[in-house]
């Protein structure tokens, strides 16, 4: 009975976080969110803080600032003023104060040269809250076996601290715009050569890839030609928060592969990103994780 009650309590808290993801631009006041959870507004703020280690206001602010951060770095055409207004601030100076307080940089400075380690540190409590209630569980029926053809790709490597991958992503986006190989016309892949949880930061390696059959300029030091080999794949679709695919990867290796009767092929785990945050709201982001099989 206690277990059932606790599961119900967690489900109500999960419903609140899911609602925030889906309606980030709407009324996310304490009263509105307590209604979503079906808790008394007189107690909900303490229940939320006790569950997540941060207040409702701070969680909502961080969710909006995360989206604003992505837009600052990856959407050069958007003005700071427009981003501030979309983040729920009435004026750019209020947005700038909140941004500097959280990340130690002004929005303009962050756009030019983000300090990713400080940014990641500020989101520690936010990420911990989400990992407790928003981590999806998978079953073997979620995994499909698919035959894929070889895919020629243009590769931009990221080597070094995972905290700095945002800078590599920014360069990759700029290169795609220059060449016209935007996600609308060219599929997007990430090849995971190492596990950030077990690899020393200076040895971390991930490839950012755009699918293309175009010749790659050999004089362009930013990019190199490569290919994702064809063959059989175990495929796990991830919907929602696709920033962190560790839970999905862990399920494939720990739970699915040992009982599947399959053997992994000598090629890294990789993913195809089908819908991107913040191009779509967080709950609409989609990625497919591919485990190559013999």
Q: DSSP class of residue 264?
A: B
Q: What is the bridge-based pairing of β-strands 151-159 and 188-192? A: unpaired
* H or E element in which residue 257 lies: helix 257-260
CA 148 to the chain's CA centroid: 25
Confidence of residue 137 (pLDDT cuts 50, 70, 90): confident
Whether residue 127 is predicted with pLDDT greater than 90 in this model: the reply is no
Beta-carbon contacts of residue 200 (< 8 Å; ≥ 6 apart): none
Mean per-residue pLDDT, 129-143 = 86
Whether residue 1 is predicted with pLDDT greater than 60 in this model: the reply is no
Q: What is the pLDDT of residue 152?
A: 98
The answer to whether the CB of 18 falls within 8 A of the CB of 283 is: yes
List where CATH 3.20.80.10 sits in the chain: 140-293
Better-predicted residue by pLDDT, 266 or 241:
266
- pLDDT tens digits for 167-216? 999 999 999 999 999 999 999 999 999 998 899 999 999 999 999 999 99
Confidence of residue 5 (pLDDT cuts 50, 70, 90): confident
How far apart are alpha carbons 156 and 169 in whole angstroms? 9
CATH number given to 140-293: 3.20.80.10
Neighbouring C-beta atoms of residue 148, cutoff 10 Å: 15
Identify the CA nearest to 256 among candidates 228, 233, 273, 240: 233
Whether residue 2 is predicted with pLDDT greater than 60 in this model: the reply is no
List where CATH 1.10.10.60 sits in the chain: 2-133
State the CATH class of domain 2-133: mainly alpha
- pLDDT tens digits for 202-242? 999 999 999 999 999 989 999 999 999 999 999 999 998 89
Q: What is the pLDDT of residue 98?
A: 95
Whether residue 268 is predicted with pLDDT greater than 60 in this model: the reply is yes
For the record, the structure tokens of 148 come out as 């894929």
Identify the CA nearest to 230 among candidates 123, 146, 104, 121: 146
In the chain, the N- to C-terminal Cα span, in Å, equals 46
- pLDDT tens digits for 68-119? 999 999 998 899 999 999 999 989 999 999 999 999 999 999 999 999 999 9
- pLDDT tens digits for 42-51? 999 999 999 8
Q: What share of the chain is helix, strand, coil (3-state, %, to 5)?
A: 50, 20, 30
Strand locations in the chain, DSSP E? 143-148, 151-159, 188-192, 205-211, 224-228, 231-239, 269-275, 286-293
Neighbouring C-beta atoms of residue 20, cutoff 10 Å: 20
Q: What is the pLDDT of residue 219?
A: 92
How far apart are alpha carbons 182 and 187 in whole angstroms? 8
């Amino acid at each position: 009975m206690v277990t059932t009650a606790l599961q119900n309590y967690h489900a109500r808290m999960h419903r609140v976080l899911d609602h925030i993801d889906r309606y980030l631009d709407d009324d996310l006041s304490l009263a509105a969110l307590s209604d979503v959870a079906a808790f008394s507004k007189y107690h909900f703020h303490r229940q939320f803080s006790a569950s997540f280690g941060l207040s409702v206001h701070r969680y909502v602010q961080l969710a909006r600032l995360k989206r604003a951060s992505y837009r600052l770095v990856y959407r050069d055409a958007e003005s700071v003023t427009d981003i501030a207004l979309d983040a729920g601030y009435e004026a750019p100076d209020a947005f700038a104060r909140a941004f500097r307080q959280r990340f130690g940089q002004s929005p303009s400075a962050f756009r030019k040269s983000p300090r990713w380690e400080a940014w990641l540190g500020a989101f520690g409590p936010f990420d911990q809250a989400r990992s407790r209630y928003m981590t999806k569980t998978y079953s073997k029926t979620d995994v499909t076996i698919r035959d894929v053809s070889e895919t020629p790709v243009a590769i931009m490597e990221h080597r070094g601290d995972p905290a700095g991958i945002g800078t590599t992503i920014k360069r990759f986006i700029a290169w795609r715009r220059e060449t016209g190989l935007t996600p609308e016309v060219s599929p997007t892949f990430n090849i995971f050569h190492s596990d950030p949880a077990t690899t020393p930061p200076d040895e971390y390696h991930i490839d950012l890839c755009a699918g293309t059959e175009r010749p790659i300029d050999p004089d362009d030091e930013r990019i190199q030609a490569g290919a994702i080999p064809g063959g059989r794949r175990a495929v796990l679709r991830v919907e929602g928060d696709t920033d962190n695919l560790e839970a999905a990867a862990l399920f494939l290796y720990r739970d699915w592969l040992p009982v599947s009767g399959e053997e992994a092929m000598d090629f890294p785990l990789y993913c195809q990103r089908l819908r991107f945050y913040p191009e779509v709201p967080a709950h609409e982001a989609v990625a497919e994780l591919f485990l190559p099989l013999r």
